[in-house]
């Protein structure tokens, strides 16, 4: 017999004494088969279904029973069609036996089975898709059935005298093998027993196939969801962000939760967490579309409340009429503040220090797709080593009756307060909340921790004079800072670029505001002004006296851009750093 280690059998089965299997009436056999419909396939888990088959058969049908499934079935793929030239790979999944057979040597559960050595099972069950039976076994028969000589000897010593194997076939596809043993005073398998086992195998195979198909569908949805989520969180200036996705324990819970982290100009970072109502492929597809729109809007450095307003319009344009919640936050390392806006999403959790946690007051707003705008923004200051936790409601929802959302949120707050900063950064919160073992909805989690002292390190911000001396002042500040960073080779280009930015701010923006300089993966320069119009590259003729500044910037820098802010606009440029000369 090719089975798992019997020491892992359920305790209630280890003490069962081998009975004499009586000859039962047709009515009793029919009642037993009817009971199988409710006892087998109670869940959509392959391992649990296989165990239910063996538990149901012992000791009523046999003194020992075991189930092996094809490797392809365990991977969610199709089983074996037709005949094959070689034995398909199988894996031991479940076993049950009476106490007298606990000394057998089966294959360990979860390990590859050795049915390829069982020529009887291969030639009859696998190739011909019919039952194989050996009654009144003699010494050569044990060698034909057992995977090893030692296992054959153990079967002989235990008094095994009858062997039966039946294929698990559903919809014309071979899924696995179920085999049975009788020993001692139990009668050998007769024709009626073979027919009964074959009918049971047909019922069990349908349950196994349903579990396979359901598992494959869940895996497809989870794979799609993971593909639509960020593969890696970008390194951002002034902020350390970790994120994770926790699938639901219940396959029905897979759907449309997402998060995103977007590096913005000026060292700012955008954080987004959203949740599409509903589950399955439609929710995951809607999530992918909304995330794409949100990322495109955030790359333009649009304020969080305006991003949500545009997302609401995009959600209303979807044909599925689905609704989603969303929380958007933008962190500015220069001021160590977050600007947040919410569309019906659970409030973010502020953890200023270990042992303390509270929810940040953010106006809730209406969910995306509801058509109720505008959204209001809130400003939040977080201590240098504090954490801001963004999550979806799957992290707190449970099946416990009588528990409202306030109690669930309080459980999350208490769990966060009990974790250290390192544990929060490691997403331990997904494993320590009260509903960890009872999660029926997926969840996402983002934990953002501000880097201490962003100014004076890799970022500098200066207020420029609102007159013609601004260009000279900016060139001097940039040159001194590059010398301090040991990046003198970038001074010439940086002086030229910042002069053009200041000139445009004086001509078209009223006056320059702030000059921001950031060294991270690249060197970034940013100049703000009060002008509302965003600059564009123009085609200058030979006789034109101006219009070439942005063309020059476009050629000298890696990239450039502009965006509106409440006070006007900012224009920024990025330059590549020499190898190994980035921020430390």
**Which pair of tokens denotes residue 5?**
């280690």
Nearest to 87, CA basis, from 198, 176, 181, 179 = 176
Those residues with Cβ within 8 angstroms of residue 375's Cβ, 6 or more apart along the chain or in another chain: 304, 305, 308, 309, 341, 342, 343, 363, 365
Strand, helix or coil at 353?
strand
Buried b / exposed e along 263-282 (16+ C-beta atoms within 10 A):
bbbbbbbbbbbbbbbebbee
CA angle centred on 333, ends 234 and 572, rounded to 5°: 75
Res 15: pLDDT: 36
Nearest to 2 by CA among 153, 197, 146: 146
Token readout for 423 is 């544990």
Tell me the DSSP string of 69-136: EEHHHHTT---B-S--SSPPPEEEEEEEE-GGGTT---PPTTSBP-GGG-HHIIIIIIHH-S-EEEES
**What is the rounded end-to-end Cα distance, in angstroms, of the chain?**
62
Q: What is the pLDDT of residue 492?
A: 92
- Can you tell me the distance from the alpha carbon of 264 to that of 245, in angstroms, rounded to the nearest whole number? 23
106/90 Cα distance (integer angstroms): 14
User: Are 375 and 329 within 8 A, CB to CB?
Assistant: no
- Nearest Cα to 67, choosing from 93, 36, 41? 93
Q: Is the pTM of this model over 0.85?
A: no
- Burial of 21 from C-beta contacts in 10 A (0-12 / 13-18 / 19+): buried
pLDDT value of position 5: 34
Predicted pLDDT at 256 = 81
Contacts of residue 490, defined as CB under 8 A and 6 or more positions apart, other chains included, come to 482, 523, 575, 577
Q: Would you write out the chain's pLDDT as a tens digit for each of its 584 residues?
A: 444 333 333 333 333 334 444 556 788 888 898 999 889 988 888 899 999 999 999 999 999 999 999 988 888 777 665 545 566 788 889 999 998 888 887 777 888 877 655 666 767 888 888 898 988 888 888 878 887 788 888 888 899 999 999 999 988 889 999 999 999 889 999 899 999 999 999 999 999 998 888 888 777 777 777 777 888 888 887 788 999 888 776 555 567 888 999 988 778 899 999 998 877 778 888 888 899 999 988 888 788 999 999 999 888 887 667 889 999 999 988 888 899 999 999 999 999 888 889 999 999 899 998 888 789 999 998 887 789 999 998 888 765 545 677 888 888 898 888 888 888 888 888 877 655 455 567 888 999 998 765 555 688 889 999 888 999 999 999 999 999 988 999 999 999 999 999 988 888 888 888 999 988 888 999 999 988 888 877 766 665 556 678 888 888 888 888 887 778 888 999 999 887 555 55
Bridge partners of 569, per DSSP, are: 529, 564
Q: What is the pLDDT of residue 19?
A: 46
Give, to the nearest 10 degrees, the angle between helix 491-508 and helix 470-484. Answer: 150
Q: Which two tokens stand for residue 231?
A: 């593969």
């Amino acid at each position: 017999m090719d089975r798992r280690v019997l020491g892992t059998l359920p305790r209630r089965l280890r003490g069962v004494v081998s009975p004499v299997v009586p000859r039962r009436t047709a009515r009793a056999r029919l009642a037993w088969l009817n009971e199988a419909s409710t006892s087998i396939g109670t869940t959509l888990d392959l391992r649990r279904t296989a165990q239910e088959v063996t538990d149901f058969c012992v000791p009523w049908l046999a003194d020992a029973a075991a189930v092996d499934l094809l490797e392809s079935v365990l991977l969610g793929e199709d089983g074996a069609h037709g005949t094959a030239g070689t034995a398909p790979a199988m894996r031991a999944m479940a076993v049950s036996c009476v106490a007298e057979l606990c000394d057998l040597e089966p294959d360990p559960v979860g390990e590859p089975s050795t049915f390829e050595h069982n020529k009887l099972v291969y030639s009859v069950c696998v190739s011909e898709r019919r039952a194989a039976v050996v009654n009144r076994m003699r010494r050569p028969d044990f060698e034909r059935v057992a995977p090893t000589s030692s296992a054959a000897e153990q079967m002989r010593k235990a008094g095994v005298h009858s062997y039966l194997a039946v294929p698990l076939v559903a919809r014309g596809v071979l899924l696995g093998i179920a085999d049975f043993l009788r020993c001692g005073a139990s009668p050998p398998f007769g024709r009626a027993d073979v027919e009964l086992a074959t009918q049971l195998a047909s019922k069990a195979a349908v349950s196994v196939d349903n579990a396979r198909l359901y598992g494959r569908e869940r895996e497809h949805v989870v794979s799609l969801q993971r593909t639509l989520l960020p593969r890696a969180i970008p390194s951002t200036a002034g902020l350390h962000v970790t994120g994770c996705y926790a699938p639901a324990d219940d396959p029905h819970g897979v759907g449309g939760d997402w998060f995103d982290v977007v590096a913005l100009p000026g060292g700012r970072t955008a954080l987004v967490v959203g949740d599409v109502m509903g589950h399955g492929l439609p929710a995951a597809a809607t999530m992918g579309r909304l995330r794409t729109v949100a990322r495109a809007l955030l790359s333009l450095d649009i304020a969080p409340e305006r991003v949500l307003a545009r997302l609401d319009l995009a959600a209303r344009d979807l044909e599925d009429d689905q609704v989603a919640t969303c929380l958007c936050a933008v962190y500015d390392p220069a001021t160590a503040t977050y600007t947040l806006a919410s569309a019906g999403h659970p409030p973010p959790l502020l953890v200023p220090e270990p042992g303390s946690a509270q929810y940040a007051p953010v106006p809730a707003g209406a969910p995306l797709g509801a058509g109720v705008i505008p959204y209001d923004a809130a400003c939040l200051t977080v201590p240098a080593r504090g954490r801001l936790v963004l999550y979806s409601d799957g992290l707190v929802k449970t099946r416990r009756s009588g528990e409202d959302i306030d109690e669930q949120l309080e459980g999350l707050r208490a769990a966060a307060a009990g974790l250290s900063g390192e544990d929060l950064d490691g997403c331990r919160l997904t494993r320590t909340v009260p509903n960890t073992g009872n999660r029926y909805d997926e969840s996402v989690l983002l934990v953002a921790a501000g880097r201490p002292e962003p100014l004076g390190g890799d970022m500098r911000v200066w207020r420029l004079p609102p007159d013609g001396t601004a260009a000279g002042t900016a060139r001097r500040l940039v040159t001194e800072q590059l010398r301090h960073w040991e990046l003198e080779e970038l001074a010439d280009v940086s002086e030229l670029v910042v002069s053009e930015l200041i000139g445009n701010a004086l001509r078209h923006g009223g006056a320059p505001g702030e000059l921001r300089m950031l060294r991270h993966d690249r060197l970034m320069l940013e100049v703000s002004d009060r002008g509302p119009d965003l600059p564009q590259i123009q085609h200058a003729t030979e006789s034109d006296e101006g219009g070439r500044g942005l063309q020059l910037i476009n050629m000298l820098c890696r990239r450039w851009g502009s965006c509106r802010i409440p006070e006007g606009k900012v224009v920024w440029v990025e330059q590549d750093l020499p190898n190994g000369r980035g921020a430390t």
